[in-house]
Structure 1
Amino acid sequence: MDHRPAAGPPRAHRLTTMARVRPTPPDLLAAELVRGALDAGGLLVCTDFDGSLAPIVHRPEEARPLPRAAAAAAWLSRSGAREGVGAHCPVGLAVVTGRDSDDVARRLHLGPEGVASGNLGLERWSGGRVELEDGVEEWLPALAAATGDLEMALGQDRLPGARLERKRCATVLHTRGLGSPGADAEAMRLVGEVARTYGLAVTAGKRAAEVRVPVARDKGSAAADIRAAGWETSALCAAGDDGGDVPMLRVAVEAGPRGTAVAIADTEAPEEVLAVAAHTVDGPWAWAEALELLVEGLRRRGG
């Protein structure tokens, strides 16, 4: 497989079929990222959490990062990382997730220079503080009312066995583990009905439907904002596994030779994720290995 992205749509279409069969080995991906970081004089990694740093589980509260991923995240977000202390160049880590940002920071034990952008870019954790994006707070009462309606519907057996996950700027209806073949479609219908009542937005995910605050933010705008805060000339690696990650992956694509988009593939990975990425790795375990090797390549001896 050609590991260097070519320009134009044919490359994207070719990856759609090739990526599932021939993932990039973690050592080759890490070597390319190290070269790119050294050439650019710095590296910012923007990565998803669920399905990327942590395997997908039936219950979101049970998700844990893989040990190799957590260790790499700790080094990339440690004190002095942005200045390149103990490394061959400055490095930074942003976890861009659909979860609450402080939830991810806690699960990863994110270091003092790490950033977590949560709720698909609607809020952000940095330095131990959470800040909402402009316009979010005024929609929280509507979200609370919508969540109440979803609870009532589930209490009336509208979608037996489905589970609600309440977040700071969204509520998710999970269907993972349900045996009904129409559960995903019914979840989208129910969430859509509630969203229309309150003027909220709807997002689909892997075995999940989400009603969220209708502020025009996504993982792409979150990653672009983080990159604009001092990482403009550095290499950028963006990695994710679901449709919500596509805007973030496109930010890496638009960075040109300094950008690397990585699809973290499993049997549920949407085709659009595979199509936009220059590389595919075989699930969170391969991504964790690539991150570990990346750290080894950038760490100075004793750093």
Structure 2
Amino acid sequence: MTSYARRCAQAINALHSIPYFTADLGNELAQFDVTDPSSIYLASRASPLGRVDAPVVTAVFNAFAPGYIAQRVPALWDQVSPERAVLARQSAAGTALERLLGADTVESPELAHAAKLAAEAAAGCAFPGRPLYAANAALEQPETPHIALWHAATMLREHRGDGHIAVLGYFELTGVEALVIDCASKHGMAKEIVMPQRGWVEADWSAARERLLARDLVDADGALTARGAALRDEVERETDRLDRAPYAALSGTDVETLATYVHGLVNTAARSGAFIPQLLDFFAPDTDTWNKR
């Protein structure tokens, strides 16, 4: 994966994440009495899969505690159907991006061109082993350019995430173990933010850390060992390798154009308050993307 392709993947991931950090998504789902932040997230991100049960969502999301998801799925679909949740998230993405970027930007030919490039990249992905990418690719493509750009970004983000989970499985790392490694690195968020967001409790976290200690991936204080840091880097390299297809579908010039433009959009959105302060650095498009899944 070229440096611009990786930079593009990072910026695309950040653009996709924007609706999850605004009130717009919650406002759209409030009409269905979906108000819990975790349920808002699950309803939005899992909706392309259809009316699936908790084990399926647990498998494709990977980083969430099974019991945490089971408390919400499938009961969530009795409040809002997956079809309505898909429409709600598209509407929220459109509203959020227009407010954060401004009408001139979302109506510009440059954004329309970026949406076209992102869609071409997303079309270069393959379905096998990519359940969340495939589910999003099966949806009707939005016609409004800024929503179309967000939808393409979502497909690209899920394609990378599906590949990342495959790599973690190859290296025999569970979702919670990957989170522990990430939080122990210089790139990750604090455990105090991540653990409750993903539904894990202290006993789960401590057990995962003990397993990693036995593999010499963390030390007795929970810090990454040299072996753990090397494994983390290898996981990211392999994730890059499995994510090269969409960017290979574009010319090098088009990848650079898309990376630079989306990077600018994310920075504009950040300056407009898209991300809460604790996550601002984490979602800056120049950071690495180990566990933004």
Q: Which has the higher contact order (CA 8 A, sep 6+)?
A: 2
Q: TM-score, normalised by structure 2?
A: 0.31
Larger helix percent: 2
